[in-house]
A and B are shown apart, each in its own frame.
Chain A
Amino acid sequence: MNDLTLRNLRKEFRSHDGAGSVVAVNDANLEVPKGTLVTLLGPSGCGKTTLLRMIAGFEEPTSGQVLFGERDVTNDPPNRRNASMVFQSYAIFPHLNVFDNVAFGLKLQRLPAAQVRERVGRVMEVTGLAGYEKRSPSQLSGGQQQRVALARCIVMEPQLLLFDEPLSNLDAKLREQMRVEIRELQQRLGITTVYVTHDQVEAMSISDVVVVMEKGNIMQIGSPEDIYARPANHFVADFIGKANFAAAEVVDARTVRVGGKDVQVQPHAFAAGKQVSVMLRPEAATIGRAEGLFEGTVTRAMFLGSVLECVVNVAGVGEMMIDVPNPVAFGRLEVGEKVFVTPVAGLPAVVAD
Chain B
Amino acid sequence: MNQIRRLARDPLLLALIIVIFAGLGLFVVYPLVKVVLTSFQTRSGQFTLENYELFVNRRLYQTALKNSLVVGGVVAVISVLLGYVLAFVTTRLRTPGQAALNMVTMLPIISPPFVSAVSILFLFGFNGLITKGLLQLQDFSIYGFGGVVLSQVFTFTPIAYLSLRGVLQSINPTLEDAALNVGATKWQAFRRVTLPLSLPGIASALLIVFIESLADFGNPLVLAGATFPMLAPQAYLEITGSFNLPRGAALAVVLLIPSLTAFAIQRYWISRRQYITVTGKPTSSTSKLVSEPVKWVLFGVSWLFTVLVLAFYAVILVGAFTRVWGFDYTVTLQHFRYVFDVGFNSVKDTLVVAAFVTPLSGLLGMMIAFLVVRRRFPGRQLMEFTSILNFAVPGTVVGIGYILAFNGPPIILTGTLAILVAAFVFRYMSVGIQNGIAVLSQVDPAIEEAAQNLGADSVTTFRKVTLPLIAPAFFSALVYAFVRAMTAISAAIFLVSANWNLMTVQILNQVGSGRLGVAAAFSVVLILIVVVFMGVLNLLMSRWTRHSGSVRF
Q: Write the nearest CB–CB distance from A32 to chain B, whole angstroms.
A: 18
A223 within 8 A of B: no
Contact A79/B5 with A97-B549, A107-B551 known, Cβ cut-off 8 Å: no
CA distance A156 to B450 in the complex (A): 13
A84 within 8 A of B: yes
Q: Is A58 a contact of B456 with CB atoms below 8 Å?
A: no
Of B179-187, B441-449, B494-502, the one with at least 4 CB within 8 A of chain A: B441-449
CA distance A108 to B6 in the complex (A): 22
Tell me the chain B residues, 452-486 only, with Cβ under 8 Å from chain A.
452-457, 460, 464-465, 468-469
Closest B-chain residue to A81, C-beta based?
B453
Q: Is A95 a contact of B469 with CB atoms below 8 Å?
A: yes
Q: Is B455 a contact of A105 with CB atoms below 8 Å?
A: yes
Closest B-chain residue to A83, C-beta based?
B453
Closest B-chain residue to A97, C-beta based?
B549
Q: Is A156 a contact of B9 with CB atoms below 8 Å?
A: no
CA distance A58 to B453 in the complex (A): 9
Q: State which of A80, A96, A156 has its C-beta within 8 Å of the C-beta of B551.
A: A96
Q: Is A79 a contact of B465 with CB atoms below 8 Å?
A: no
Of A70-78, A243-251, A320-328, the one with at least 4 CB within 8 A of chain B: A70-78
Q: State which of B2, B451, B453, B465 has its C-beta within 8 Å of the C-beta of A56.
A: B453
CA distance A136 to B468 in the complex (A): 15
Q: Is A75 a contact of B455 with CB atoms below 8 Å?
A: no
Which A residues are CB-close (under 8 A) to B138? none
A88 within 8 A of B: yes
CA distance A317 to B449 in the complex (A): 52
B10 within 8 A of A: yes
Q: State which of A62, A84, A87, A97 has its C-beta within 8 Å of the C-beta of B550.
A: A97
Q: Is B444 a contact of A79 with CB atoms below 8 Å?
A: no
Max count, chain A CB within 10 A of own CB: residue among B450, B464, B548, B551:
B450
A330 within 8 A of B: no
Q: Write the nearest CB–CB distance from B475 to chain A, whole angstroms.
A: 14
Q: Write the nearest CB–CB distance from A310 to chain B, whole angstroms.
A: 45
CA distance A310 to B549 in the complex (A): 59
Q: Is B9 a contact of A84 with CB atoms below 8 Å?
A: no
Max count, chain B CB within 10 A of own CB: residue among A58, A79, A81, A152:
A79
Contact A94/B455 with A60-B6, A107-B553 known, Cβ cut-off 8 Å: no
Q: Is B446 a contact of A156 with CB atoms below 8 Å?
A: no
Which B residues are CB-close (under 8 A) to A104? 451, 454, 456, 464, 551
CA distance A109 to B553 in the complex (A): 10
CA distance A93 to B452 in the complex (A): 12
Tell me the chain A residues, 92-132 only, with Cβ under 8 Å from chain B.
92-97, 100, 104-105, 107-110
Q: Mark A281-320, 1 if CB is under 8 A from B, else 0.
A: 0000000000000000000000000000000000000000
Which B residues are CB-close (under 8 A) to A105? 454-455
Main SS of the interface on chain A? loop
Q: Is B9 a contact of A58 with CB atoms below 8 Å?
A: no
Q: Is A79 a contact of B456 with CB atoms below 8 Å?
A: yes
Q: Mark A39-59, 1 if CB is under 8 A from B, else 0.
A: 000000000000000001110
Interface size on B, residues (CB 8 A): 27
CA distance A330 to B484 in the complex (A): 85
Tell me the chain B residues, 420-457 only, with Cβ under 8 Å from chain A.
444, 446-447, 449-457
A89 within 8 A of B: yes
Closest B-chain residue to A78, C-beta based?
B452
Contact A79/B457 with A95-B469, A107-B551 known, Cβ cut-off 8 Å: yes
Which B residues are CB-close (under 8 A) to A152? 450, 454
Q: Is A156 a contact of B454 with CB atoms below 8 Å?
A: yes
Closest A-chain residue to B443, C-beta based?
A94
Which A residues are CB-close (under 8 A) to B455? 79-80, 105, 108-109, 156
Q: Is A77 a contact of B457 with CB atoms below 8 Å?
A: yes
Closest B-chain residue to A164, C-beta based?
B446
Tell me the chain B residues, 227-244 only, with Cβ under 8 Å from chain A.
none
Q: Is B549 a contact of A91 with CB atoms below 8 Å?
A: no
Contact A87/B450 with A95-B548, A97-B550, A107-B553 known, Cβ cut-off 8 Å: yes
Contact A75/B549 with A85-B450, A95-B468, A104-B451 known, Cβ cut-off 8 Å: no
Q: Is B446 a contact of A91 with CB atoms below 8 Å?
A: yes
Q: Is B460 a contact of A108 with CB atoms below 8 Å?
A: yes
Q: Is B450 a contact of A58 with CB atoms below 8 Å?
A: no
Q: Is A79 a contact of B452 with CB atoms below 8 Å?
A: yes
Closest B-chain residue to A101, C-beta based?
B450
Which A residues are CB-close (under 8 A) to B10? 77
Q: State which of A58, A83, A110 has its C-beta within 8 Å of the C-beta of B553.
A: A110
CA distance A93 to B456 in the complex (A): 13
Q: State which of B9, B456, B553 has its C-beta within 8 Å of the C-beta of A75.
A: B9
Which A residues are CB-close (under 8 A) to B548? 95-96
Which B residues are CB-close (under 8 A) to A136? 549
Which B residues are CB-close (under 8 A) to A108? 454-456, 460, 553
Q: Write the nearest CB–CB distance from B549 to chain A, whole angstroms.
A: 5
Which B residues are CB-close (under 8 A) to A109? 455
CA distance A201 to B234 in the complex (A): 77
Q: Is A77 a contact of B444 with CB atoms below 8 Å?
A: no
CA distance A152 to B446 in the complex (A): 14
CA distance A312 to B307 in the complex (A): 86
Contact A78/B453 with A91-B446, A91-B447 known, Cβ cut-off 8 Å: yes
Closest A-chain residue to B457, C-beta based?
A79
Which B residues are CB-close (under 8 A) to A75? 5, 9
Q: Mark A146-181, 1 if CB is under 8 A from B, else 0.
A: 000100100010000000000000000000000000
Closest B-chain residue to A105, C-beta based?
B454
Contact A91/B449 with A60-B6, A77-B9 known, Cβ cut-off 8 Å: yes
Q: Is B449 a contact of A87 with CB atoms below 8 Å?
A: yes
Q: Write the nearest CB–CB distance from A119 to chain B, whole angstroms.
A: 13
Q: Is B453 a contact of A85 with CB atoms below 8 Å?
A: yes
Q: Write the nearest CB–CB distance from A156 to chain B, whole angstroms.
A: 7
Which B residues are CB-close (under 8 A) to A83? 453
Which B residues are CB-close (under 8 A) to A96? 548-551
Closest A-chain residue to B545, C-beta based?
A95
Max count, chain B CB within 10 A of own CB: residue among A62, A80, A149:
A80
CA distance A83 to B454 in the complex (A): 8
Q: Is B549 a contact of A89 with CB atoms below 8 Å?
A: no
CA distance A58 to B10 in the complex (A): 13
CA distance A56 to B449 in the complex (A): 10
CA distance A57 to B454 in the complex (A): 12
Closest B-chain residue to A104, C-beta based?
B454
Which A residues are CB-close (under 8 A) to B450? 85, 87, 91-93, 149, 152
CA distance A79 to B9 in the complex (A): 11
Q: Is A89 a contact of B444 with CB atoms below 8 Å?
A: yes
Q: Write the nearest CB–CB distance from B132 to chain A, whole angstroms.
A: 59
Which A residues are CB-close (under 8 A) to B549? 95-97, 100, 136
Q: Write the nearest CB–CB distance from A135 to chain B, whole angstroms.
A: 10
Given A77-B9, A79-B457, A100-B551, 15 more pairs with CB closer than 8 A? A60-B2, A62-B2, A84-B453, A84-B454, A87-B446, A89-B444, A91-B444, A92-B450, A93-B450, A93-B451, A94-B447, A104-B451, A108-B460, A152-B450, A156-B455
Sample (27) of A-B pairs whose CB atoms are under 8 Å apart: A56-B453, A62-B2, A75-B9, A76-B9, A77-B9, A79-B456, A84-B454, A85-B450, A85-B453, A87-B450, A89-B444, A91-B450, A92-B447, A93-B451, A94-B469, A95-B469, A96-B549, A97-B550, A100-B551, A104-B456, A104-B464, A104-B551, A105-B454, A136-B549, A149-B450, A152-B450, A152-B454
Task: Name B residues whose Cβ lies closer than 8 Å to a Cβ of A.
Answer: 2, 5-6, 9-10, 444, 446-447, 449-457, 460, 464-465, 468-469, 548-551, 553
> Which 3 residue pairs spanning A and B have beta carbons closest together?
A105-B454, A91-B446, A91-B450
